[in-house]
Amino acid sequence: MVPAFISVAISGNLFLLILFFIFGITAGFLFYRYTLPRISFWSRIFLSVIRSLSLMLLIFLVFQPTFRFMSQKSQLPTIAILIDATKSMTLKDNNGKRDSLVNHFLKSSAFGKFPQNVELKYYTFSVKPHLVNSIINDSIAFSGDETDISSVLSLLKDSIISQNVSTVVLLSDGIYTTGKNPVYQAEEMSVPFFTVGVGDTSEQRDLIVTRAESNKITYAETKTPVDIRIKSSGYGGENVEIELTEGSKVLDKSILTIVNGTREYPIRLNYLPEKEGSHKLNVRISKLQGEFTENNNYRSFFIKVLRNKLKVVLIAGSPDPDLPVIRQSLIENKNFNVNALIQKSENRFYDEPNINNLIDSADCFISIGFPTASTSQQFIEKISGTIEQRRVPLLFINSKNIDYVKLKYLSAYLPFSWSGVQKEELLVRGVVPEKSRNNSIINLNDKNELDLWNRMPPIYKSRTIFKLKPEADILFAASYQNLPADEPLLASRNINRYKTIALTGYGVWRWQLLMQNDEDARSAFARFINNSVKWLTAVGENKKVIVKPVKEFFTTSEPVEFVAEVYNDRLEPVENATLSLSIKKDNYSSELSLKSIGNGRYEGFFENLTEGDYSFNGTAKDDDLVLGSDNGKISVGQINAEFIDTKMNKYLLEKIAQRTGGAYLNINEAEKLPEDIFGKIKFEAKEITHTTEVEMWNWKYLGVIIIILFAVEWFVRKRKGMI
Minimal CA–CA distance to 133: which of 191, 169, 81?
81
Which of these ranges, 75-84, 294-303, 413-422, 536-545, has the smallest mean pLDDT? 536-545
Q: Pick one of 3.90.1150.10, 3.40.50.410, 3.40.50.11540, 3.30.2350.10 as the CATH number of 77-202+647-684.
A: 3.40.50.410
The Cα 254–Cα 268 span in angstroms is 9
pLDDT of residue 516: 72
Task: pLDDT band for 343, please (50, 70, 90 cuts).
Answer: very high
The model's pTM: 0.61
* Distances from the Cα of 104 to the Cα of 101, 121, 199, 411, angstroms: 5, 18, 14, 77
What tens digit of pLDDT does each residue of 30-85 get?
Answer: 888 877 888 888 888 888 888 888 888 888 778 878 877 777 777 788 899 999 99
End-to-end CA distance of the chain: 51
HEC letters along 357-406? HHHHHCCEEEEECCCCCCCCHHHHHHHHHHHHHHCCCEEEECCCCCCHHH
pLDDT of residue 346: 81
Task: pLDDT band for 448, please (50, 70, 90 cuts).
Answer: very low
Burial 75-96 (b: 16+ CB within 10 A, else e): bebbbbbbbbbbbbbbbbbebe
The Cα 716–Cα 719 span in angstroms is 5
The Cα 489–Cα 504 span in angstroms is 5
pLDDT of residue 446: 47
Q: Which residue did the predictor score with more confidence, 137 or 86?
A: 86
Task: pLDDT band for 430, please (50, 70, 90 cuts).
Answer: confident
The Cα 697–Cα 57 span in angstroms is 10
Q: Do domains 77-202+647-684 and 206-307 have the same CATH topology?
A: no
Class (C level, CATH) for 310-537: alpha beta
Minimal CA–CA distance to 145: which of 690, 702, 553, 712?
553
Overall size of the chain counted in residues: 723
* Domain 206-307 is found in CATH 3.40.50.2000: no
What mean pLDDT do residues 322-330 have? 92
Q: What residues does 261 pair with on adjacent strands?
A: none
CA 27-33-38 angle, to 5 degrees, is 140
Q: Which residue did the predictor score with more confidence, 11 or 613?
A: 613
Break the chain into its structural domains and give their ranges: 2-72+694-720, 77-202+647-684, 206-307, 310-537, 545-636
The Cα 226–Cα 242 span in angstroms is 12
What is the CATH number assigned to the segment(s) 545-636?
2.60.40.1930
User: Positive or negative CA dihedral for 44, 50, 53, 54?
Assistant: negative
Minimal CA–CA distance to 217: which of 302, 277, 305?
305
